[in-house]
Amino acid sequence: MSHFGRTGPPDITDTYSLLVLNITFRTTADDLYPLFDKYGKVVDIFIPRDRRTGESRGFAFVRYKYADEAQKAVDRLDGRVVDGREMAVQFAKYGPNAERIQQGRIIEKVSRIKGSSRSRSPCRRYRDDHYRDREYRSRSRSVDRYERDRYKRRERDYRRRSRSHSLSPDYDRGRGRGRDTKHHRRSPFDSASPPRRSLSPYRKESPRRSLSPKKRSPEKRSHIERSPTPRSRSPLGRAMDSRSPSPHADEE
DNA sequence: GTTGAGCGTT
């Protein structure tokens, strides 16, 4: 996605990946490109996003073609304030497939040997949450907070997704926004250029019209609500629809 | 609209 219009990793054979942390959730590859490109040949910029919500996770990967340029970028851009936050630039420790890399360069190809790719926990980000209760209970406080925070985020995402059956409206909306980058691109990385800041009046309005429920004055509303049907106030009282469980509510 | 430790995609 965050490539030159292509999908998937382009060529990580002789590239040096930098891990950019502490960037804002609105920062895109287009924002980072001009900064990193000044210090060397940037091959690719990838910002991991949430698969459910599509939002940025707050960090990015910048691939350089040469190590010296990557090192220079780390030295110059580490601590640089972008969008109000200090981003931390450092060499990546792991590759796309959890391979061990040195100075951003992959020195160990993904070995299919079982036991070899032990490294960190497998799929710890996608593990289910049913068995985590007893797990995090035995954790220390610091870790507990750490785990809880992570779960809080995931819970939020999962909850929104669990509401829908198959097609979530928000998911469709997120994708629709990303596909809007067909008019023009300002950088080789046309990844996701959402008009976050320069929001022109061309913004699409939501299906829900600006219908304020409190638009009507209390008097009018009372009047309308009181006589939706002329026969509602029949002297018998029983003639009313069975929607009024409490007859005294009419007196108010 | 929010959040803030961390290591990545067709």
pLDDT of residue A30: 92
Which residues lie below 8 Å from residue A59, measured CB to CB, with a gap of 6+? A19, A20, A21, A22, A23, A47, A48
Q: Which of A46, A105, A56 is nearest to A83 (CA)?
A: A56
Give strand B nucleotides closer than 7 A to any protein Cβ: 2-10
pLDDT of residue A247: 40
For tokens 């900064």, name the residue: A35
pLDDT of residue A101: 73
CA of A153: nearest nucleotide by C1' is B3
pLDDT of residue A28: 92
Q: Which of A180, A200, A192, A196 is nearest to A30 (CA)?
A: A192
CA of A45: nearest nucleotide by C1' is B8
- Which residues partner with A82 through β-bridges? A85
Tokens found for residue A237: 């009282």
* Helix residue ranges, H only, chain A: 29-37, 67-77, 133-137, 141-163, 169-178, 218-226
pLDDT of residue A3: 55
Distance A251 CA to B1 C1' (A): 41
Spatial distance between the Cα atoms of A124 and A133, rounded to a whole number of angstroms: 15
Residue-wise pLDDT tens for chain A (252 aa)? 555 555 666 676 788 999 999 999 999 999 999 999 999 999 999 999 988 888 899 999 999 999 999 999 999 999 999 989 999 999 999 888 777 776 667 655 544 444 333 333 333 333 333 333 333 333 333 344 434 444 444 444 443 443 443 434 444 443 444 334 344 445 566 544 444 444 444 444 444 433 334 433 333 333 333 333 344 343 433 443 444 343 443 433
Chain-centroid distance of CA A140 in Å reads 29
Spatial distance between the Cα atoms of A151 and A159, rounded to a whole number of angstroms: 11
pTM (two decimals): 0.54
pLDDT of residue A86: 93
